[in-house]
Structure 1
Amino acid sequence: MRTRFIVGNWKMNKTATEAVAFVHRLKQELPSVEGIQVGFTPPFTALHATRDALASNPAFLLGAQNLHWEEKGAFTGEVSGPMLKDLGCEFVLVGHSERRQHFGDQDTWTNRKVLAALRHGLRPILCVGETLQERDSEHTDAVIERQLRAGLVGVDDQGLAAVTIAYEPVWAIGTGRAATPQQAVLVHRMIRRIIGELGGADRVQQLRILYGGSVTPQNIADFLSFEEIDGALVGGACLDPLSFATLVRVAIRATPTRTA
């Protein structure tokens, strides 16, 4: 059985001081976490402080929001895999829709970042998702397949074992309009099929696929009631420690009982 993974993406929120206060309060609310993994991706400026506040608490994993594909060099404003690894990061988001939309990240760049993450011992969470226009024009399957196949070029079977996929419909991110669990399940099934076709037949049942897009403490149980959904990439609801703690507690109790 796949271990559920709940990831809080702080985006461009929280100073280092605010990050420490968040972690201390969250640890009070969640003194122990069993049966699932919980991670956060603070902004780069708060990674060091967050790592120290976690104090190697095995219940929580530290991740980053992005990385550059080169190890070092004249890339002003960028951060490399070795830098993230040195700070204690265990995973990194790659291809988030906000990177694609606002910063021009292309499928080829996303692929180079996936490969760089794997090369430096970081587990990539490859984000894929369609816009509202693409969904309304019934292009969801084609968009997801393109992003998956392009993002995983050159990733071998061993590499696939370290990859997590996050399905985040762009039209649901930060809008309060989540996809229905049934909509998410259909895409998750397609993702698993495509990964199998890419050569991960031995890994496909272990592959974790998260849903992201307006996930809240009120709807997380509905998503996790389907065995195809292995966790969540959470945005706004992860910024308050009480809200995030509630969401995690609900996720721990949720049991898959439904089929789409």
Structure 2
Amino acid sequence: MRKKIAAANWKMNLTLAQGEQLINDILQAGIKLQEGQEVVVATPFPYLLKAKALLKNYPGFYVAAQNCYSEKSGAYTGEVSAEMLQSIGVDYVILGHSERREYFQESNAMLAKKIDVALAYGIKPIFCCGEPLEIRKAETQNAYVAKQLEESLYHLTAEQLKQVVIAYEPIWAIGTGLTASAQQAQDMHAYIRAQIAEKYGREAALGLSILYGGSAKPGNAGELFACPDVDGGLIGGASLVAADFTAIISKLA
């Protein structure tokens, strides 16, 4: 049974005090996770240790970094390595988010290196893929996403792939108020799973968690998560409001 995951991506938001309050509010909501369900909280780097301490006694709750560098160590001022993240007990790392690709020119080849270094230090990558609006309008989104998968993931062994979570983000639906329909989300998730099956086999594909990452909210999360190939969400803005995020967690199928 593959994991069902609600992952919060805070991006560059909140002070430490605000972040601590948000986590406490989520925990005090009394969420009862079912077997195979996880909540992942991706905080800014300065808050990771605090988030880890707050969540340590809550089974099923994990901490993620929002990025790591592609090299193990060295003269890379301002960067954070996977070894550093491992040393403070980080469980997951988001890699390839559309904002990183756009603003910091992260290529598929660089992301392949980041995937490798994260796995080398026992950190599970949440690998983001997805198409911009012009690609969706041209109806070439499948080929676009397939290239992202091929160039960043297909060098992995089947055993390594078991540690990876994929998050499909239709870039045109991030921060725009637009949301892919449940059918659009399901179609792409099914396509991604079929691509993985073709490369790694049916068993590997069926065990892979694929999250939806395009402006999911309490009002549409239930419909999205009910899709057979949607295994939860990578949540942005709604994860900054405790009531909204806990409502989304409750929709995990």
TM bucket, shorter chain: over 0.9
State the identity %.
38
| Structure 1 letter corresponding to 2:142 | D
Give yes or no for the alignment of 1:158 onto 2:159: yes
| Structure 2 letter corresponding to 1:100 | R
Give the CA deviation at 1:202. Answer: 3.2
Give the CA deviation at 1:241. Answer: 1.1
Equivalent residue runs for 1:3-152 within 5 Å:
3-35=3-35, 36-152=37-153
Give the CA deviation at 1:28. Answer: 0.5
Contact 1:94–1:113 (Cα < 8 Å) also in 2: yes
The alignment yields a C-alpha RMSD, in angstroms, of 1.3
Structure 2 unaligned segments of length 5 or more: list them: none
C-alpha distance in 2, partners of 1:166/1:85? 22
Contact 1:68–1:79 (Cα < 8 Å) also in 2: yes
Give the CA deviation at 1:26. Answer: 1.0
In the alignment, which residue of structure 2 is the partner of 1:258?
A: none
Equivalent residue runs for 1:211-230 within 5 Å:
211-230=212-231
C-alpha distance in 2, partners of 1:220/1:33? 16
Instruction: Give the TM-score normalised by structure 2.
Output: 0.96
Contact 2:95–2:128 (Cα < 8 Å) also in 1: yes
Q: Residue 221 of structure 1: SS of its match in structure 2?
A: helix
Q: Residue 6 of structure 1: SS of its match in structure 2?
A: strand
C-alpha distance in 1, partners of 2:28/2:190? 37
In structure 2, the CA distance between the partners of 1:74 and 1:56, relative to structure 1 (3 Å rule), is: farther
C-alpha distance in 1, partners of 2:12/2:228? 32
Contact 2:52–2:62 (Cα < 8 Å) also in 1: no
C-alpha distance in 2, partners of 1:59/1:162? 16
Q: Residue 243 of structure 1: SS of its match in structure 2?
A: helix
Contact 1:30–1:245 (Cα < 8 Å) also in 2: no
Contact 1:211–1:233 (Cα < 8 Å) also in 2: yes
C-alpha distance in 1, partners of 2:119/2:27? 30
Instruction: Give the TM-score normalised by structure 1.
Output: 0.93
C-alpha distance in 2, partners of 1:181/1:30? 28
Partner deviation per Cα, 1:163-195 (whole Å, 9 max, x = no partner): 111100000011111100101111111111111
Contact 1:19–1:49 (Cα < 8 Å) also in 2: no
Contact 2:82–2:118 (Cα < 8 Å) also in 1: yes
Give the CA deviation at 1:200. Answer: 4.2
Contact 1:171–1:177 (Cα < 8 Å) also in 2: yes
Structure 1 unaligned segments of length 5 or more: list them: 255-260
C-alpha distance in 1, partners of 2:53/2:140? 44
